[in-house]
Amino acid sequence: MCLEDWSDEMKEAGDHKELWYNKMKDKGLGVKIAVTEDDKVVGMIQYVPLEYSTAEGDNLYFINCIWVHGYKEGVGDFQKKGIGKRLIKAAEEDVKSKGAKGLVAWGLSIPVFMRASWFKKQGYVKIDKQSISVLLWKPFSNDAIPPKMIRQKKKPKEIPGKVSVTSFINGWCPAQNIVFERARRAASEFGDKVVFNEIDTFNRETFLEWGIADALFIDEKEIRTGPPPSYEDIKKKIAKRVKKLK
């Protein structure tokens, strides 16, 4: 729950992360957590073999997420205390011990969550980019081969006489799981006028077919999902399309 077990919003995410964890726990998933002296969990990093990520390469690991709790709610704000640096160093040492040739991260070029600029300060180098998403890496050996982003290959098609709501879901990110659950619930409000399509991208072949891990489309239009749009906002967007049906 991204350390946010106090959050009512996080409770909307369903059990997708738990299902993802049960699939990944024996496939090389690595997790480190930061704990205070009084046993408060205040930070975490999660990383997986690259073949379970949104990038491609050889003998590399990929950071899905690194997060230090920064809210007043729950355990309180623990950011800007060097916790993130210690977490990423711990992950680096772990994947080195597994024989990996480098650690890869995704970041954003804008100053929000998972900032690419923060990874650069930790010694990571930009290797690929698409829109505001940046792929960075830190090689551990001279023969490490740079990774590449896997790009979108196609998008959902409209269904004549219906509104199509298509949600791609991998399961690893609670925020995107919230989007999925809100979209599914909103789509159900319109009866047979709306068709809801779930595309499970944990399946690697499915992910490679589309080149999309987590996303929401209403007909052929992709809806911005970061931060997660509200249930009401998603429902309004669907309703707008429903009104245009002949």
Residue 99 DSSP one-character state:
T
Query: CA separation (Å) from 237 to 157, 164, 227?
Result: 17, 12, 16
Q: Looking at the predicted structure, is the pLDDT value of residue 111 above 90?
A: no
Q: How many domains does the chain have?
A: 2
Q: Out of 126, 149, 172, pick the residue that ends a domain.
A: 149
Q: 146 pLDDT band (50/70/90 cuts)?
A: very high
Asked if residue 1 belongs to a domain, the reply is no
* Single-letter residue type at 156: P
Instruction: List the end-to-end C-alpha distance of the chain, in Å, as a whole number.
Output: 42
Task: Report the distance separating Cα 9 and Cα 134, nearest Å.
Answer: 27
Q: Indicate if 95 and 208 belong to the same structural domain.
A: no
Residue 2 vs residue 239, higher pLDDT: 239
SS3 126: strand
Same domain, yes or no: 229 and 185: yes
Domain boundary residue among 90, 115, 149?
149
DSSP summary character for residue 231: H
Residue 92: closest CA among 146, 141, 54? 141
Q: Is residue 157 part of a domain?
A: no
The answer to whether the CB of 141 falls within 8 A of the CB of 133 is no
The answer to whether residue 1 scores a pLDDT higher than 90 is no
**Does residue 220 share a domain with residue 134?**
no
Asked if 51 and 116 sit in the same domain, the reply is yes
**Which helix (H) or strand (E) covers residue 130, if one does?**
strand 125-130
CATH at 43: 3.40.630.30
In this structure, the answer to whether residues 180 and 216 fall within a common structural domain is: yes
User: Rounded distance, CA 140 to CA 57, Å?
Assistant: 14
Q: What per-residue confidence (pLDDT) applies to 41?
A: 97
**What average pLDDT does range 131-149 have in this prediction?**
97
Range of the domain at 191: 163-243
| Full-model pTM | 0.94
Largest CA distance in the chain: 63
Domain assignment of residue 73, yes or no: yes
Residue 3 has pLDDT above 80, yes or no: yes
Mean pLDDT rounded to a whole number for the chain: 96
Residue 3 covered by a domain: no
CB 185 within 8 A of CB 231: yes
Q: Give pLDDT, residue 205.
A: 97
What proportion of the chain, given as a percentage, has pLDDT over 70?
100
Convert the pLDDT of each residue in 5-43 to its tens digit. Answer: 999 999 999 999 999 999 999 999 999 999 999 999 999
Domain match, 135 and 170 both: no
Whole-number pLDDT of residue 112:
86
Task: Tell me what the mean pLDDT of segment 206-224 comes to.
Answer: 97
**Per-residue pLDDT tens digits for 51-98:** 999 999 999 999 999 999 999 999 999 999 999 999 999 999 999 999
143 plus 62 within the same structural domain: yes
4 within domain boundaries: no
Considering the domain architecture, whether residues 127 and 176 belong to the same structural domain is answered as: no
Q: Which two tokens stand for residue 103?
A: 């650690």
Residues 104 and 216 in one domain: no
Residue 101 lies in a domain: yes
* 246: pLDDT strictly greater than 80: no
Cα–Cα distance, 234 to 216 (Å, whole number) = 10
